[in-house]
Each structure stands twice: as structure tokens, then as C-alpha cells.
Structure 1
Amino acid sequence: MSLRKPHSKSRFGCLPCKKRHIKCGEETPICRNCINRRVTCIYGLPRASSPRHASRATSSKDTCHTQCEQNNGMELPLTCRCGQDSMTQCAIPTTKLQELQLMVYYTTTTYETMANSLEDIEIWRKVVPKEAVQHDFLMDELLALSSLHFASQNPGSRWQFAEIAIQYQTSALRKYASALEHVTKDNCDALFICSILITILALAFPNVALMIVRLRERTDSIAESVDPERRQAYLSGIEALKTAFGLMKASTHLGPVIAWPAMVNEKLLKLFKQSDPIAQFIFIHYGVLLLYTRDRWWGRDIGVSLIESLACSLYATDPEWATWTEWARETAALAIQEDRRS
């Protein structure tokens, strides 16, 4: 009689492992099963608590040290960095004070920007917050909205609060996707409101600009020790991405996507072929640019495949890269979800 090795059940495995009915190792940001199968690893439920409750579960090893910045009389903690294992849970401050202040900002300022009439004002000021209290996915989305609105009104803190908004948005999308699998009369209103906010934030997020800034920051932090020729090659790729994304926002013509490899320094292409980490990091963002070709037979999977393969390669080199590739991986995951719905 064979004995099965017992293991504790967990609700926190990634969605691909759940779909295949196999045990997930729950490694972050990419579980080993997904690395081996080279698929996008998405966690439907946060491994730790949500951003609002994570402070109760943090250890001394991953303690978040936050800063504060005061703008327009409202003091809010800024973003922080933690240990790599807590990348998705502790990438933002987790103080109750911050979330209280974000809710105050929403109920005193942001809600007015959502309303088109007096009736709408009451809905956004009273009804929506009440629904958010009962549904975590909507609360995270509301905090993302408030963070991004605050960022838009305070240029000096724009990138800090845009990043905070991104973290809340990421948490909200995971919970929202899970809730969509179990629609009930109790959560249908919250799901509808959340879908509206997701659309609004998708239009409002300075995604490309933030991506370019973080790409430049990461490149600068590593490239300080490399020779000028290699550094110039990296910068040529970043500037070409900035130009291409700008052109794609103004037009649907795919020329900038196709022409990007010809716009970069030849040295960058050589570095990419040599599996240079920074070159791979830059090409991951070219993968995001390639997502514009998903409606063409020749480009349907190329962007997602490039992002997935390079993210796995960089993670194998150093798990710290997972923090820097998260935006591209999340963008690819959303693209996959959109394709499945269409």
C-alpha cells in the first residue's frame, strides 16, 4: 500500500496551477511550475494580507520604512521597498494612517471628479464607499483612484503616488478576477462599480511615462560601472522606446513597433544576443510595445512570449529582477485576459 506524502492545502496558489489541479509552490513572483512551463504566473489571492492588512503580518526582516511628504496640507507616506519575497505584498506602505488619509482625500475631493450630476455626487460620495467597505477588491480600486488623483494634483509627488496607485490597482485586479468567478446578488453592484473604475484608471495611469522613468532608474543604477559605449547602447534603447510609445499613443499605425529594432544602437542588439541582463530588461519593454500587434496573425503571441521568456531568464539570474519586470508581466497578463474575453 503506497502512502501519499501529506501536504497542507492552501488557497494562495497561482491561477495556472489551480487550473491544472497541481500543487503550487507559491514562490514569488513566479512559481517554479510556471517557470518550467514558461507561462504567465498570476496569483488570484494575495499570499499575504491585502495592502490594508499587511502591516499585521510583516516580520522584522521585511519591515517597511516609509517616508512622508506633505503636499497641499495633506501628509501621506510615500512608497517603500522591502525584501524581494514581499515584492507584491509590501511594495507600498501599509499604515492605517495612509489609507485613512487616502479615503479622506476621496470623500472630500476625488468623488466630485466622478460625478456628472447632483444624483451622481451622492452615489460617489456615499454609496460607493459603503460598497467598498464590504468588498476588498473595490476598496483597493478606490484607494488606487484616490492615490492617482492625488498624484495628478501634486506634480512633485506624481511618480511616488502613481506607483502607490499601481500597487493598489494590481491587488484590486487579482481580487476582482477571483470575484468574477463567483458573481452573486451581494457583489454584483461592487463588481460593476469596480469595472467602471478599472476603465477610468486604465485611461488615467501614466503607464508609459512611469515605465520609462523606472527603466531609466534601473539602467542608471547598474550602468554606472560599465563602459561609456555600453551605457550609450542602453540609453539608445530607452530613448527609442520613449519615441515609439509616444507615436503609438498618437496613432494606431504599427510602424513604430516594427521599426524599433532599427532605431536602437547596434551594440544593444549584440548585448541582447549575449543575454546581457540590462539589454534583456529593455527588450522586455519592447515586448509591451509588441502587444499592439495582438490583432494581427503574425504578432498575436510574440509580445507575451517575449515578456514571459525574458522575465523568467532575468528571474533565474537574480530574483531581484522580478520587482522591475512586474509592470511588463502585469500588462501581458491583462492582454491575455482581454483576448480571452473577446
Structure 2
Amino acid sequence: MAIRRFHQKSRGGCHRCKIRRVKCDETRPICRNCIRQSTECVYSEPGPRAPPISPQPDVQDNNGLYDALDLLLMHRFATVTAPQLFPSAQATHVWQNILPVSAHTEPLLMHGILALAGMDLARMDGDAHSAYRTRAFHHQQMGLSIFQEMLQKDNSAQIHAIFPFSLILVILAFASAHTEVAEPSVDTILDIFALFRGPRALAAANYDAISESEYYVLLRPTDTKPPPRLSEEVVRQAEKLRAMGSDDVARVATRQLADAIEVSAQRFDLRVIGRWPAMLSDHFFARLKQHHPEALVVLSHYSIVLAAFRERWWVGPWDRMLLSAVSHALPGSEQTRLDWRLDHLETVLDRHAGVSEALDAKA
């Protein structure tokens, strides 16, 4: 019988954690639960201020003006962060040139790109790590407030800001895990999966408007090149997935993942990385939430897709983190029954790692 974990009751948690009846770590300005779920974090009582970002002054509204650290973040985004988001040349042009110009009149996009640059810099070792991380979370929170307000209205006229910000939220969710001490659990990973459904829903509801904009290349890249040949082991894993599934729900999920694995050698992060989480049926997603053993085994193979983009700063070691999370969630008896071996999958990942980057090098 599972042992129920009891937590010391906290009265100073944020509104969101109180509503969900989960323990809040009371981190200011944004608790970790709200960071993982990309939700607005509001406290009833004013708490201690976030650590000052020395030697820079605190962020001030000042009618949209930003401080010296934000100028540094903008420079980082335009020169380093943006080219490392999506690999295609057209997508890089959008991130590096279109978005910064649009951000001049769209605070939502300004907060989004500054949050990305801050999280990028937070990966670096040194005294400034916490300062960059704090500033990144500040801009993420500011952007979320605007984003949620926009979603409550008719957003068709603002889709050119809302759609790219929904993508930014997914990237931030992946990137923020690199700055956490503890690795993500299966439940945390599924919270991130839920974010993938946002861009898909927005794209479906506003497809015509997006297809006529510069942002369409983020959804459908066009500069395709022949993908490299997949290793025999990766091909076998895809074939094995197609043969799995005890019912229609599982069979559809496994075939979708097998398709994603086979195209993961292509260079388009959004289309490949986001395809499977966004396409999952509600029924299979529910099985994952319940830690159904067979569903967890299928989930572990999603790490093959992630491994192809290991060299992207916001993806990094996510393939190994996913495998570790499944290993902890899947009981040893079930691993034996289902013939699931962590070391075998790790070998597959290493053979597939960076395959999309290798194609970039040849281009």
C-alpha cells in the first residue's frame, strides 16, 4: 500500500497552491509550482522582496522603460539566445529580427524574450546565476499576467503576440528545469506536456491569421533538407512501439510516437518535439497521469525524440531527465514484467543524440 506523504501546513502560500491544496514553497515572487504550470502567482500578504539584482537597479515600470540589465538581456537574446531556439533559417529570422521589433509595441513579447534571455544566462555558472534567474521569472510573471488577460478576450486580433508567447512558455518550462536543484518528476513533465496543447489550440483556432503572418514558419518550416539515416537501433525502437498497445487508445499513442521518432532527425524543433505531447488523446494523457505502467513505458521512448535536440540550450539533458523520472515512477516489478531496461534506452539515446545538429553542421 502506498504511503501517504504529509506536509507541514503552510498559511503563507500563494492563492493557486491553496486552491489546488498542494504545498507551496512560498518562493517569491513566483513559487515553483506556479513556475512549472506557468500560472500567475499571487500572495495574500506582501512577502520579502525578491533578491536585488546587484549592481543593477530593480525593474521599474516607468511607462514601459527597462533598466540596464534588461538591455543586456535584449542584446543576449538578439545575438545568442534567438539563433539557438529553432534551427531553421526562417525561424531564426523570426526570433532574431521580427520578434524584437514587434516587442517594441507589444509588452507581452518584450517580457517573453527577456525571460528567455534571462533563463539562457541563468545556465551559466557564477555569482550572477540567481540574478539572471530572478529577472527571468520576473518577466515570465509579468508576461503571464498580460497573456491570461488577453486569453479572456477575443484574441483573434492579438494572435500575432499571443501565439509566439505560447511557444515561449513551452521553451521556458523546458529551460527552467535546468536551473532547478531537483530533477523533474513524471507529474512535472506532464504539466509541461499540457503547455504544448496551448499553441496547438491557438494555431487551430487562428490558422488563417497565422498562415498569413511571419510566424507561420514557426508552425510549418519550409527549408527542409533530406534527413540523415536513422540508426538501426532507433528504427527498431520505432517498430517496437508500433507493435505495442493493448487497445485502440494505446495503439494510437504508440504509432504517433513512432512517427515522431522517425522524423526526429529533421531540424525543426517545434514540429518534432511538440508533435507527440500536443497530439496525445485525453484518454492516454489520463493514463499517464495515473502512472499506468504501460503508458509510462511509452512515455520513456519520447526521450529518443528529445535526444535528437540535446545540443539546444533549452533542451539539453531532458532526454536523460525523462528516463530518470520514468525509472523512479515505474516499480521494479513492472520494469521486469514489461522488459523495460534503463541502460538499454540510454544507449539508444546516445546513438541518436545530436542527430539534428549533425545535419545543421552539414548544411
Q: TM-score range by the shorter chain?
A: 0.3 to 0.5
The two structures have a TM-score, normalised by structure 1, of 0.38
The two structures have a TM-score, normalised by structure 2, of 0.36
